[in-house]
């Protein structure tokens, strides 16, 4: 593995991790990518509200709800309830009335991780595989909090890159695997 540390924002890491978790839980790759993006967006919105960057929902202007012909289904991933719907292409997460395209998520991940995407995905897949699906779902977000990129102290604002330590992710996977043998 050429790099043990990858410089990246937290949102793409959460997107990729949530998609790996969703796949481990039995969703296909495209549905998993869509769900992963929704988890990251919902997480960012929640944090933005806590920090006062975004208005609370009750403070936002009331907009007429769009009528949606398809019924939305709640899907739990990484401790988040994600609205989703069945489309002709399969299950897709829905935010703002729009289905999230897995191709858009793929391009975004490739842009964020560059050449390291396959290395990072492999490390995250090994970590997810170290857990039984039910336990992974319970522990997924806590695991993310342990390995998410560290943002330099004293940095304020939104979207700063941090260091994602792939060796930490691999240690978390091997430590768990050793306990279950």
Query: H or E stretch including 6?
Result: strand 5-8
Going by pLDDT thresholds of 50, 70 and 90, the confidence category of residue 154 is low
pTM: 0.84
Going by pLDDT thresholds of 50, 70 and 90, the confidence category of residue 3 is low
Give the tens place of pLDDT for each residue, 15-33. 999 999 999 999 999 999 9
- Strands 90-95 and 5-8 come out as unpaired
Domain ranges within the chain, ordered by starting residue: 5-55+69-180
CB burial readout 20-47, b (16+ within 10 A) else e: bbbbbbebeebbbbbbbbbbbbbbbeee
User: Distance between CA atoms of 37 and 48, rounded to whole angstroms?
Assistant: 16
pLDDT (0 to 100) of residue 58: 56
How distant is the alpha carbon of residue 74 from its chain centre?
16
Asked whether 23 and 133 are in contact (CB, 8 A), the reply is no
Low-confidence winner among 42-51, 127-136, 156-165 (lowest mean pLDDT): 42-51
Give the tens place of pLDDT for each residue, 92-138. 999 999 999 999 999 999 999 999 999 999 999 999 999 999 999 99
User: Distance between CA atoms of 41 and 69, rounded to whole angstroms?
Assistant: 23
Contacts of 2 (CB under 8 A, 6+ apart): 119
pLDDT (0 to 100) of residue 4: 87
Q: Is the pLDDT of residue 67 over 50?
A: no
């Amino acid at each position: 593995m050429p790099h043990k540390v990858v410089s990246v924002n937290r949102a793409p890491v959460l997107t990729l991790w949530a998609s790996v978790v969703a796949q481990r839980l039995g969703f296909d790759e495209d549905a998993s990518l869509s769900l992963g993006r929704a988890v990251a967006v919902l997480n960012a919105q929640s944090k933005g509200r806590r920090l006062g960057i975004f208005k609370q929902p009750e403070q936002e202007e009331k907009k007429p709800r769009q009528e949606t012909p398809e019924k939305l289904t709640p899907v739990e991933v990484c401790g988040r309830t994600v609205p989703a719907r069945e489309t002709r292409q399969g299950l897709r997460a829905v935010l703002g009335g729009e289905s999230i395209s897995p191709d858009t998520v793929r391009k975004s991940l490739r842009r964020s991780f560059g050449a390291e995407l396959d290395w990072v995905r492999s490390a995250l897949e090994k970590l997810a595989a170290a857990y039984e699906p039910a336990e992974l779902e319970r522990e997924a977000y806590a695991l993310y909090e342990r390995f998410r990129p560290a943002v330099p102290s004293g940095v304020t604002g939104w979207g700063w890159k941090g260091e994602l330590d792939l060796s930490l992710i691999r240690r978390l996977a091997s430590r768990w695997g050793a306990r279950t043998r």
